[in-house]
Structure 1
């Protein structure tokens, strides 16, 4: 066993002298999922980076820009619960592979759009096909990770969002510069996604025992945690698939959903409108937008990885799950709210980028929420609960770009939009404090 594994070994775990060292396939799998989600957000955010060019080429008003930015989220949100059911029924491996192939093709097709309508249709196609990625990741977290490691598993998975948004700014602007336009950048991004889908099918498995590189020590380590969870589940009523309806009566279910909605109201607002805000309110050129986006969202990536490690470390030291989660996520909500208020009053461009970097650093701690579906519903129902959570978050995904478009169009500035994000942060803060992170729901 490595020093890192010993440090984070669950309390009460015996490390027998001379016992076989556990393989670390679960961590390699989650690094692969990090890469997958990174590319997911490169493709998802590519339109935002190229938007100053696309807006001029298609002659779009702020209202039409908002509608175009929201197109992805309509279908993405509507597919969440159905795709969560498919994941629980058929397994995450098949769903993730199909998702990669479909969204890669749709991304490439968006590079061939001739105007607002064809681009809108292509973006809805990306929304449909990307829908399975995050709920499947939540399911894999429940299947592959020991309960003491799921904080890190959740944040490694979700950290691909800010990493993809940050790296995507540089990649897409670089491809635009290399090919003299945005269209080929989208086509290349789509081809890379299809290739990754083939690799996902080759490497990912729905059960650790099915993976040729997993040894008995690693499989038993994971299964011991699952047996303990199954015993708790049987005491509460069983381990069978329950669907979504039985969970609707619990406060923690709704706190999970509204917390993710508030979180995405901030994150998707900055992801979709952030580059245009930097261009129009701060006068940044395309190259400056790419690097500023990298700094802002790169800070979110670092914050998310550190937040997950900190949460697991505190739990390993004996602090209760509710104490850890409510303290970390409550503090992050306060800092995010204060940072967004600060952005509305500063005039200096560098200070605004610095404040937005702080906002993203602490906002992404809420990526710990991807451990919540497995906590509330167990690994059997983690897919459908993850889908419900992501549905709620992506309601903010399609409402926020439209709302910001109308606010900017009506006021001619971004102060009202930033205050809209402040409201989302307040919803997030109230929800993360209301959620009980410590027990499975008795359904």
Structure 2
């Protein structure tokens, strides 16, 4: 019997939800200058608003990851999509006459961004668990790269659209439209998504292929039923490789969060572009990032399929990408030449996305019954950058009135990630747990490193 391809429809759903996820993160960046002007916000206040999402997103990771391991991704993820979309929609009301002062409107924006952060917390732990559930190990990097590319495709396509909406109908409309789209898709997710063992679209041949390739499969539900115990979590957290992974995730996400928060403001105020031209100019780095994440995932899986070690297949894209990301500081020499500046930003963002294998390595290293919980820790470190970097850049701007030191900061953090992978990350393999249950967590595919 020929295997069905039900996993591809699941991947398509992850692609769409990731695009919506990043649209709802980035719409504040597009509306940032308009909001700053309307409410007379300082650069530090705008940086705080940019980072508010990530404060609460990061704080929610571990408890949400624990719930994910208990409840599963269908109900938790579907409910989360609807909730964050409702709070996105409500952000448009911040300019309503009910809020008599600019300070009250600013507080409303802060509260909504915080609630969006809490609601989006299940996103990437759920994505990782779903990919580990549905895909054999030699398809996992490409599957992760495919849904991850949605964040860049969505930004490339939707940033000009959101910029047009802001310029034509006001910044409030961008939140109304983004929120409505997410609410509709959240309802669809609850109706359509099923785990492999509950799917009516996957035949037994596909389930067997997934199981034999290291995925969960219909016969491998023991990974879902294994209890999460904190001694195992503490044991995994003591491993240098895991800490190298955490630091590299922070480093890679710092560049990403620059492009999610200050990037449009940089194009407007650093390079002197109008909001319409900034929206068009932003397409190129986002499209290059999309190519980067796909190339990194394809290269990793290709190396693995050709018999190279998992360690080599995962570390080469990550380390090369982080090294080239440091070139972002070269943009400081071309601020009066926007075309060249955008080209440099495009190369740096391509390299950053090329290194985007943190969640793949997470599924390679973390015992499968702990992916939700420890994926939460990974997301904390990744999103600490979303707390720290927007505020640091805001403070730099307030004190220097220049983006140059901000670019040096992003480059330095990328270098830190490269050094972490060099000196901390060792062999890429599942962490051995000090109990018999850990044996069920070892990769089942032929490419795993014994």
TM-score > 0.5, shorter chain as reference: yes
For 2:350, the equivalent position in structure 1 comes to 361
Residue 77 of structure 1 corresponds to which residue in structure 2?
58
Asked if the contact 2:166–2:174 (Cα under 8 Å) also holds between the matched residues in 1, the reply is: yes
State the match for 2:74 in structure 1. 93
Partner in structure 2 of residue 432 of structure 1 = 421
Q: Which residue of 1 aligns with 2:319?
A: 330
Alpha-carbon contact 1:296-1:360 (below 8 Å) kept? yes
Does residue 353 of structure 2 align to residue 372 of structure 1?
A: no
Q: Take 1:228 and 1:266, find their aligned partners in 2: how far apart are those partners?
A: 33
* Structure 1 stretch displaced more, 390-399 or 149-158: 149-158
Q: Contact conserved, 2:132 with 2:216, CA < 8 A, in 1?
A: no
How far apart, in 2, do the equivalents of 1:276 and 1:42 lie?
Answer: 17
Aligned to 1:159, the other structure's residue is in SS state: helix
CA distance in 1, matches of 2:359, 2:145: 7
Q: Look up the match of 2:255.
A: 266
Alignment of 1:171 onto 2:155? no
1:153-302 → structure 2 map (5 Å cutoff): 153-178=143-168, 180-206=169-195, 208-226=196-214, 240-243=227-230, 244-302=233-291
Tell me how far apart the structure 1 counterparts of residues 285 and 215 of structure 2 sit (CA, whole Å).
Answer: 41
Asked whether the equivalents of residues 14 and 127 of structure 2 are also in contact (C-alpha less than 8 Å), the reply is yes
* Contact 1:155/1:305 (<8 A) preserved: yes
Measure, in 2, the Cα distance between the counterparts of 1:155 and 1:227. Answer: 17
Deviation at 1:363, TM superposition (A): 0.6
Matched-pair contact (CA < 8 Å) for 1:308–1:365 = yes
Q: Secondary structure at the match of 1:168?
A: helix
Of 104, 129, 132 in structure 2, the residue corresponding to residue 142 of structure 1 is: 132
Runs of 4+ in 1 over 4 A off after TM superposition: none
- The CA deviation at 1:227 is 7.8
Question: In the aligned structure 2, how far is the partner of 1:197 from the partner of 1:379?
Answer: 26
Q: How many residues align?
A: 417
Q: Is the 8 A contact 2:65 2:372 kept in 1?
A: yes
Task: Classify 1:188/1:282 alpha carbon distance in 2 versus 1 (closer, same or farther; 3 Å).
Answer: same
How many angstroms does 1:240 deviate by?
4.7
Taking structure 1 as the reference length, the TM-score comes to 0.90
Match for residue 58 of structure 1?
39
**Contact preservation (8 Å) 1:25, 1:213:** yes
Report deviation, 1:196: 0.6
How big is the shift at 1:341?
A: 2.4
- Looking at structure 1, the residues matched to 341 and 309 of structure 2 have their Cα atoms a distance apart, in angstroms, of 37
Contact 2:288 2:349 in 1 (8 A): yes
CA contact (8 A) 1:72 1:127 kept: yes
* Contact 2:250–2:381 (Cα < 8 Å) also in 1: yes
SS in 1 for 2:367: helix
- What per-residue deviation string (whole Å, max 9, x for no partner) do you get for residues 266-301 of structure 1? 110222111101100111111111111121112111
- 2:333 equivalent in structure 1: 345
Q: TM-score, normalised by structure 2?
A: 0.89
Alignment correspondent of 1:381: 370
Q: Deviation of residue 324 (structure 1)?
A: 2.0
Q: Which digits, 9 at most, give the CA deviation of each residue in 1:201-237, with x for residues without a partner? A: 122223x1211110111111011133899xxxx9xxx
Contact kept in structure 2, 1:151 and 1:309, CA below 8 Å? yes
Q: Cα gap change, 1:313/1:226 in structure 2, threshold over 3 Å: closer, same or farther?
A: closer
Query: 73-82 or 168-177: which moved more?
Result: 168-177
Q: Over aligned residue pairs, what C-alpha RMSD do you find?
A: 2.1
Deviation at 1:385, TM superposition (A): 1.7
| Counterpart pick for 1:131 among 104, 121, 127 | 121
Distance (whole Å) between structure 1 residues aligned to residue 135 and residue 323 of structure 2: 30
Deviations 1:78-113 (A, max 9, x none): 001111111111001111101101101000011111
Q: Distance in 2 between matches of 1:380 and 1:279?
A: 46
Residue aligning to 2:87: 106
CA distance in 2, matches of 1:375, 1:241: 18
What CA distance in whole angstroms lies between the structure 2 residues aligned with 1:255 and 1:152?
Answer: 22
- The alpha-carbon deviation at position 437 of structure 1 amounts to 5.3
Separation of aligned partners in 1, 2:208 and 2:21: 32
Gaps of 5+ in 1: 1-19
Gap change, CA 1:437 and 1:130, over 3 Å in 2: farther
